[in-house]
Amino acid sequence: MSQALDDSLNLELLRLICSGEGVEINISELSQRLNKHRNTVASRVENLFSSKIIEKPFHPFPKIFAEYPLLVFEKANLPRNQKTNKWIENDSHIWAAFFVKDEEYNSLLIELHEDLHAYQEWRDCIISEEWASLPSGQESIPSDAIYLSTKAIIKNDPVASVELLKTQFQNSQELTINGLAIDQLYLDLIEALVVGNGVWTNPNSLSRKLDVHRVTVQRRLDLLLQENIISNPVSRFPRIWAPPEYFIVLSLIELTKDKDRISKTLVDDPHTSLVVRAGAGKYNLLAISCFSRLRDHLTWEEQFDQSFSGSVGAIKNLYLSPSMTFSIHQQYVPLEYLRKRIENIRV
């Protein structure tokens, strides 16, 4: 563990910037980049936020994958009630949750844990602490889990799918997202903000909140970036892996040969935002991809199969439409991790 995470000032700074405090849009920079009046840019950016096309900027916390190196994809049969819903929304290990109908399961949870022992203790607490409201007499939650290591992630690029929006717009010249008609300026702003152009961290604002000198804040920010505890500030799509209104596809893939070549193809493909080496029965790769229409995925998969004929065995897909999204904790898991560390240091 980095010593930087044992420092109370660093933790307080992380808590702020990972929640977006002190992270701002530089309207002047965007205005110059796009050659548009700053008032026009400011109003367009606000429209993107209010329409929930992108989220307000923050510093991602990639260190969470080192602190919680167990990545779990878990199908579960959960009761549909307010208590269970509240638990899913507030649990500090659930990264994302979806409503599904797959075999006997009605939910998909994507989780981050410290290790298998911590995962099992977490599972036990769901019952013993009555976090979820289970039917009378039921002492466990039926589930089917895939355990992966975050070290096996070969692609984690939430920005990749912006290329799909650009292609969609170029092909039709018409694009509406969440009721907002998207033109070239909106598209340019989306692309800029999701890669972090025109996004900056204001050390003066943070120094006032933390009651320390701005030079101290800047030095700490530089250190946290240098050690890859945080990455540069960005805006992101609310569903992380896909633009609004796109399908998310979770795929388990069996590669029989040419594994490196196929993996590289998936890494280079803008449809995929997360690719992980897996060991789930015959499946040895897990991918999260996105498509504007279901038939686009079917076409893409057919082309993928033909391109690597004889090298790809079985593929098992789970389709997750926007309406199937229960909750996605963009920064909640890292923020809860930081909260616990701060509490432990104070004790």
pLDDT tens digits for 64-79?
999 999 999 999 998 8
**Statement to judge: residues 187 and 277 lie in one domain:** no
Instruction: Tell me the mean pLDDT in the region 138-147.
Output: 85
Cβ distance 119 to 74 under 8 Å?
no
Rounded to 10 degrees, the C-alpha dihedral 48/52/57/58 comes to 180
pLDDT, tens digit, for every residue of 211-234? 999 999 999 999 999 999 999 999
**φ, ψ at 293 (rounded to 5°):** -140, 150
Domain span at residue 310 reads 154-158+244-325
End-to-end CA distance of the chain: 19
329 has a pLDDT exceeding 90? no
pLDDT, tens digit, for every residue of 294-318? 999 999 999 999 999 999 999 999 9
In SS3 terms, 121-166 reads as HHHHHHHHCCCCCCCCCCCCCCEEEEEEEHHHEEEECCCCCHHHHH
CATH code for the domain of 304: 3.30.70.920
Cβ distance 59 to 233 under 8 Å?
yes
**Statement to judge: residues 173 and 93 lie in one domain:** yes
Structure tokens at 289: 């991809």
> In whole angstroms, what is the distance from residue 337 CA to residue 332 CA?
8
pLDDT, tens digit, for every residue of 8-48? 999 999 999 999 999 999 999 999 999 999 999 999 999 99
**Statement to judge: residues 225 and 289 lie in one domain:** no
pLDDT, tens digit, for every residue of 157-200? 999 999 999 999 999 878 999 999 999 999 999 999 999 999 99
Structure tokens at 183: 């033109």
pLDDT score, position 345: 86
Place of tokens 């819903």: 85
Q: Would you tell me how many other CB atoms lie within 10 Å of the CB of residue 79?
A: 15
Query: Which of 329, 332, 250 minimizes the C-alpha distance to 287?
Result: 250
**Statement to judge: residues 304 and 173 lie in one domain:** no
Q: What's the one-letter identity of residue 156?
A: N
Q: What's the one-letter identity of residue 165?
A: L
pLDDT score, position 87: 92
**Statement to judge: residues 223 and 248 lie in one domain:** no
Q: What's the one-letter identity of residue 248?
A: I
Return the minimum-mean-pLDDT range out of 126-140, 189-203, 265-279: 126-140
Q: Which residues contact 325 (CB under 8 A, 6 or more apart)?
A: 96, 98, 99, 239
Cβ distance 191 to 166 under 8 Å?
yes
**Statement to judge: residues 231 and 290 lie in one domain:** no
pLDDT score, position 330: 84
pLDDT score, position 103: 84
**Statement to judge: residues 216 and 287 lie in one domain:** no
> In whole angstroms, what is the distance from residue 128 CA to residue 123 CA?
9
**Statement to judge: residues 214 and 273 lie in one domain:** no
Provide the 8-state DSSP code for 55. Answer: P
> In whole angstroms, what is the distance from residue 97 CA to residue 73 CA?
10
**Statement to judge: residues 145 and 86 lie in one domain:** yes
Label residue 1 by pLDDT band (50, 70, 90): low
**Statement to judge: residues 126 and 186 lie in one domain:** yes
Determine if residue 201 is left, alpha or beta; phi over 0 gives left, psi from -120 to 50 gives alpha, anything else beta.
beta
> In whole angstroms, what is the distance from residue 9 CA to residue 14 CA?
8
Q: Would you tell me how many other CB atoms lie within 10 Å of the CB of residue 213?
A: 11
The tally of domains found in the chain comes to 2
**Statement to judge: residues 314 and 335 lie in one domain:** no
pLDDT, tens digit, for every residue of 72-123? 999 999 888 888 899 999 999 999 999 998 888 999 999 999 999 999 999 9
Q: Where are the alpha helices (DSSP H) in the chain?
A: 8-18, 27-34, 38-50, 64-67, 82-90, 116-128, 162-172, 184-195, 203-210, 214-226, 259-268, 294-307, 332-346
pLDDT score, position 137: 64
Q: Would you tell me how many other CB atoms lie within 10 Å of the CB of residue 163?
A: 13
Give me the chain's average pLDDT, please.
94
**Statement to judge: residues 170 and 316 lie in one domain:** no
Q: Which residues contact 226 (CB under 8 A, 6 or more apart)?
A: none
Structure tokens at 126: 């769901």
